[in-house]
Amino acid sequence: MAQLLKQSVKLALIQLACTADKAHNLSHARSKVLEATKAGAKIVVLPECFNSPYGTKFFPQYAETLLPSPPTEKQSPTFHALSQLAKEAGVYLVGGSIPEREDSSDKLFNTSLTFGPRGELLATHRKVHLFDIDIPGKIRFKESEVLSPGNKITIVDLPEYGRIAVAICYDVRFPELAMIAARKGAFLLLYPGAFNLTTGALHWELQGRARAMDNQVYVGLCSPSRDMTAEYHAWGHSMVVDPNAEVLGQLDEKEGIVMTELIQGRIEEVRKGIPLETQRRFDVYPDVSRGFRGTE
């Protein structure tokens, strides 16, 4: 039987120090991506909102227009910078996320662009679940005050390696999305994300490990580093989890790169030991995702 990951591959998560200076963020991201690829990474991930501060008041100011695709350099300098960088480095680049403005509707989205090694755009994911929380005395954040949600699950085929899924931050809290991607054959679920000091300590690692454990796939969570002078304090702790829910690598709150080898055959090994796939009882829960098995 074909293995989900066609060959072992090095994954790098760049926990970038993100500032209010977009041009600086882009050139800094470039140097870190090149550092990771020189060390052998073939799939590289940037954090959520890597080229702007994270906050509803910043989204309109930093938003770029991505449609019609490809946008002009003026409409989206980030699109062009990421495309050129993926090509220069010869890697699959999951470009974190950026605030996007859809010109036709004037709606804003939190959007992730994935490029292939020839600089070609492979996928666009608009954050499906907006980060709306209110924990008294701790944190109130309402993305929906300015953002609109995306409406699709994003699965990307990397011909040499297999299938990955890309979603953004709060999306990780919704197991349905991860489950469907895994049933469709993804070997890796990637979440550019920016949890905070309240939810990060409680749920960041738990969410990553839970999605890996439930689905027996690799999971990567990629955060900005923490800046206590910024308005939003990111949790950091970018991490890679293996299909047995073991943490393969995790940073602290400072800037850095998590480099991990994803091993061909590991998913199948874990699934052989704990064969959830063949033990599911669709007769007991026929409405749950039976139709999502297979590769289409």
22 among known catalytic residues:
no
Q: Whole-number minimum distance, CB 275 to ligand LQR7VSFR, in Å?
A: 31
Which residue, 42 or 143, is less far from ligand LQR7VSFR as judged by CB? 143
246 among known catalytic residues:
no
Which residue, 142 or 290, is less far from ligand LQR7VSFR as judged by CB? 142
Q: Please pick, among 18, 48, 64, 222, the residue that the annotation labels catalytic.
A: 48
Selection from 1, 4, 5 nearest residue 295 by Cα: 4
Q: Whole-number minimum distance, CB 61 to ligand LQR7VSFR, in Å?
A: 19
Selection from 156, 133, 143 nearest residue 54 by Cα: 143
Which residue, 89 or 181, is less far from ligand LQR7VSFR as judged by CB? 181
Q: Please pick, among 42, 127, 205, 253, the residue that the annotation labels catalytic.
A: 127
Which residue, 97 or 215, is less far from ligand LQR7VSFR as judged by CB? 97
Which residue, 11 or 147, is less far from ligand LQR7VSFR as judged by CB? 147
Q: Whole-number minimum distance, CB 195 to ligand LQR7VSFR, in Å?
A: 4
Q: Whole-number minimum distance, CB 6 to ligand LQR7VSFR, in Å?
A: 31
Which residue, 81 or 146, is less far from ligand LQR7VSFR as judged by CB? 146
Which residues lie near ligand LQR7VSFR (CB under 6 A)? 131, 169-170, 173, 194-196, 199
* CA pair distance 149, 226, nearest whole angstrom: 26
Cβ-proximal residue to ligand LQR7VSFR, closest one: 199
Q: Whole-number minimum distance, CB 186 to ligand LQR7VSFR, in Å?
A: 21
C-beta atoms surrounding 163 within 10 Å: 19
Secondary structure of the chain in HEC code, one letter for each residue: CCCCCCCCEEEEEEECCCCCCHHHHHHHHHHHHHHHHHCCCCEEECCCCCCCCCCCCCHHHHCECCCCCCCCCCCCHHHHHHHHHHHHHCCEEECCCEEEEECCCCEEEEEEEEECCCCCEEEEEECCCCCEEEECCCEEEEHHHCECCCCCCEEEEECCCEEEEECCHHHHHCHHHHHHHHHCCEEEEEEECCCECCHHHHHHHHHHHHHHHHHCCEEEEECCCCCCCCCCCECCCCEEECCCCCEEEECCCCCEEEEEEECCCHHHHHHHHCCHHHHCCCCCCCCCCHHHCCCC
Q: Whole-number minimum distance, CB 135 to ligand LQR7VSFR, in Å?
A: 9
49 among known catalytic residues:
no
Q: Please pick, among 22, 32, 143, 169, the residue that the annotation labels catalytic.
A: 169
Q: Catalytic amino acids?
A: 48, 127, 169
